[in-house]
Each structure stands twice: as C-alpha cells, then as structure tokens.
Amino acid sequence: MEHVDVLVVGAGSAGLAISHELTRWGIEHIVLERGRVGQAWRDRWDSFCLVTPNWTVRLPGEPYTGDDPDGYLPRDRIVAHLEGYATRSEAPVRERVEVHTIERGPDGRFVARTSAGDLGSDRVVLATGAFQRPHRPASAGSLPARLPHPDPGGHRTPSQLPPGALLIIGGALLLTGDPRALRGSGSARALAYALLTGGTIAMYTLWDKQAVSTYAIPPLLYDWARNLGLAIVVAPSALRRRADVVEHWHIHRREVIGVGVLSPLAYILVLTALSASPGSYVAPLRESGILIGTLMGTRLLAEGKGNRPGIPARDGAVSGASRSSARSRGEKLSVPCTRSKR
Ligand SMILES: Cc1cc2nc3c(=O)[nH]c(=O)nc-3n(C[C@H](O)[C@H](O)[C@H](O)COP(=O)(O)OP(=O)(O)OC[C@H]3O[C@@H](n4cnc5c(N)ncnc54)[C@H](O)[C@@H]3O)c2cc1C
C-alpha cells in the first residue's frame, strides 16, 4: 500500500493552499480530489460570479496584484485561477479519486479507502469544503409537491427552471453574513428603514391595485387625484419658501418639467398594468426601474463603473484588467458580472 506523510482530501482553495505550504516546508503529501481542481466552483451555474470582490482572491504566495480589485471574477476565471495556482505551486493533485472512508490503524497511522485503492498516511487534512450543501429548513417539507422548490445548485441555466414566477427565500442577509452581527453596528437602523420602505411600497402597491382593479378607477383619474392630494400637502411649505421655489424654477426648469412629465407617466403605466395583471407580477417588474436607473447612471451620467468584469492575466494568474484593455487585446469577455462598485 502506498504511504505518504500527509494526505490532503479536496483540491479547492483550502486543499491547494495547504499543499502550497506543505511543499514550501518540504513535507511529502498527496492531494486527492474526487472531481477536478476547483470542483465546487465548476458545479456552479453558468452566469455565476464571485460575490466577494477580486481583492479578496488571495492564496498563500499569491496576493492579489491585478488592477481590478473591485471586480468580480466569473466562474470559469475562478476555476482557471485555481488550476493555474495548482500548476504554479506544483501541487501533487490526483483528480477523480474519491476518498470513501478514513480509518486509524493499530499503529496510529491512517488508511484511506479511495476509489483508486487504499492509501496510508501519517496525517490527514480534510479540506472537503463547507457551504456546498444547501440548507433546507424543515418547513420546506410541507410545500406542495406540485410547487417546484429548487436549490441554487440545482440548475446551470435559467432555462432549466420551470416557467413562472420565482420566490427567492434567503439571499442578501445570508450572503452578507450573520444578521445578528448587525446589532450594535448601526446597520440595523438602516436595515429597519429599508424594510419599512419596502413595507410601505408593498402597502401602496396593494392599495393602487385595489383602486384600479376592484374599484375600477381609471388610472389617469387616480393619478390626477393623487397629484392633487400631493399638491395640497406641499403647497403650504412651497408658499412659505416662495423665493426658493422661484429660484429653483429658474435654475432647474428643464429637470423639473422632465420629472413632472416622466414621473406621472411612469405611474400611469404601472396603474394601467395593475388594472390588467396580477399585482404579484407587476410589483417586482416595476422594481426593474432601479436596475435600469443604475445602468443609465453608469452609462449616460458616467457615475462610475457598474460593469467590472475581471479577466485573468497572462499565465493564468488572477489579475484584473479593464474592459477596454481586454478589448484592445481582442479577448472575449464571456460572462460580464454586473454589480455596483462598493
Ligand atoms: C453559491 C455560493 C457562492 C459563493 N460565493 C463565494 C464568493 O463570492 N466568495 C468566496 O470567497 N466564497 C464564496 N463561496 C464560498 C466558497 O465556495 C467556499 O468558501 C470555498 O469553496 C471553500 O473552499 P474549500 O477549499 O474549503 O472547499 P471547496 O471549494 O468546497 O473544495 C472542497 C473540494 O473537496 C472535494 N471533495 C469533497 N469530498 C471529497 C472526497 N470525499 N474525496 C475527494 N474529494 C472530495 C470537492 O470535490 C471539492 O473540490 C460561495 C459558496 C456558495 C455555495
């Protein structure tokens, strides 16, 4: 039976990092991987990209040196980076070998039963990962069988999901860490305001739906009445600050007219949609305005780079480069990861 000083199970970032350090210390070892290097990332969906920025992509001996620290690497670039790291650090990885069990023999040494036979070792490092198994709350069992409830890892492309509306349970709070850590950080207050805003929007959307659908109030009339109500509410304050209003009118007349036309127009469109379709469809779609606004701010107003794909530098080292420099080298930016800059 083959014997090594250290057996490392798993060739993800943890397994490769420990291998890098064992090599540096001259310690004999083997890394067994049931799939291929970076398998956990390979298994992610096609449009996956990191939720953590590129500057966090750091492995022993390879700090992030690219010029796109705030970008977000797409899946295939993450895999390429890990493969490159394994090659550069000459990690002794054996791919497609699964470790079934590990036992300790009478002499205190370990024996691993693997898909490629038994392997003995003095020490074992389990780098088999975490976060790779979705957590399904017990209540998921009570969902009706006819209602599909896939996990994030259950599909590679949106086309593999059944058609229809999708409710996402868990998400930002889980991805951004432990919600209990918000206590005392001041973020809880901001979160409360955000939730309150969401609740208020939901309430007035239901109210709007009721008005134009159940009571059949024409959208134009409803919006006109709403604007009249608003005008009555703000009129006393505007009259008190008449000089300010006149001054702003002179300076920002075009913008005021633009908002005055576009805002009611958008609202009348939403009301028209609500009068004809279920609120559960219209409400989320209406929020796509946030995304469109972000893109327009990025593109038209040049407020910053909202679209920051990371691309690997030569030799496969993770690096970053701007979209323009990638284009000038004729590289194809396959999966752009769009996210606002921190
Ligand atoms: C949806 C999602 C998004 C994420 N996004 C981010 C992100 O943006 N940024 C970030 O830093 N982290 C992210 N993570 C977390 C990240 O994936 C993990 O922190 C990271 O993969 C852990 O690395 P690891 O080497 O410990 O384990 P893994 O990457 O899971 O590697 C473990 C390896 O062990 C192999 N293995 C397991 N069992 C055996 C066995 N019996 N025999 C042989 N081989 C075995 C597996 O095939 C795998 O290759 C995300 C996780 C998920 C689920």
Residue 133 in any domain: the answer is: no
Q: Are residues 205 and 299 in the same domain?
A: yes
**58 residue type, one letter:** R
DSSP for 149-183 reads ---GGG-SSGGGSPSS-----S-HHHHT--GGGGT
Q: Which of the two residues, 29 and 266, has the higher pLDDT score?
A: 29
Residue 143 in any domain: the answer is: no
Residue 136 in any domain: the answer is: no
Nearest CA owner, ligand 1 atom 16: 131
Atom of ligand 1 nearest to the CA of 10: 34
- Binding site membership of 10 for ligand 1 (Cβ less than 6 Å): yes
Residue 53 in any domain: the answer is: yes
Residue 341 in any domain: the answer is: no
Most confident of 20-34, 35-49, 193-207, 306-320: 20-34
| Ligand 1 center–CA 33 separation, angstroms | 12
Residue 221 in any domain: the answer is: yes
Q: Are residues 201 and 97 in the same domain?
A: no
| Ligand 1 center–CA 82 separation, angstroms | 12
CATH number (domain holding residue 25) = 3.50.50.60
For residue 319, the model assigns a pLDDT of 30
- CB contact at 8 A, 249 and 241: no
Q: Are residues 7 and 122 in the same domain?
A: yes
* Boundary of a domain, candidates 91, 106, 126: 126
Q: Are residues 193 and 282 in the same domain?
A: yes
Range of the domain at 193: 189-305
Q: Are residues 13 and 108 in the same domain?
A: yes
Question: Could you tell me where the beta strands, DSSP code E, fall in the chain?
Answer: 2-9, 29-32, 93-94, 99-104, 110-114, 117-126
| Ligand 1 center–CA 13 separation, angstroms | 7
Q: CA-CA distance, 9 to 99, in Å (whole number)?
A: 7
- Binding site membership of 40 for ligand 1 (Cβ less than 6 Å): yes
Residue 326 has pLDDT above 60, yes or no: no
- Binding site membership of 39 for ligand 1 (Cβ less than 6 Å): yes
Count up the domains in the chain and report the number.
2
Choice from 51, 72, 136, 339 to test ligand 1 binding pocket (greatest atom count within 8 A of CB)? 51
Query: 142-199: per-residue pLDDT in tens?
Result: 888 888 888 877 788 878 888 877 777 765 555 555 555 556 666 677 778 888 988 8
* Boundary of a domain, candidates 126, 160, 181: 126
Residue 234 in any domain: the answer is: yes
Residue 340 in any domain: the answer is: no
Q: Are residues 96 and 16 in the same domain?
A: yes
Q: Are residues 119 and 23 in the same domain?
A: yes
Q: Are residues 96 and 212 in the same domain?
A: no
- Binding site membership of 128 for ligand 1 (Cβ less than 6 Å): yes
- Binding site membership of 74 for ligand 1 (Cβ less than 6 Å): no
* Boundary of a domain, candidates 126, 150, 174: 126
Atom of ligand 1 nearest to the CA of 131: 53
- Binding site membership of 73 for ligand 1 (Cβ less than 6 Å): no
Atom of ligand 1 nearest to the CA of 35: 47
Query: 235-292: per-residue pLDDT in tens?
Result: 999 999 999 999 999 999 999 999 999 989 999 999 999 988 888 888 888 878 777 8
**253 residue type, one letter:** R
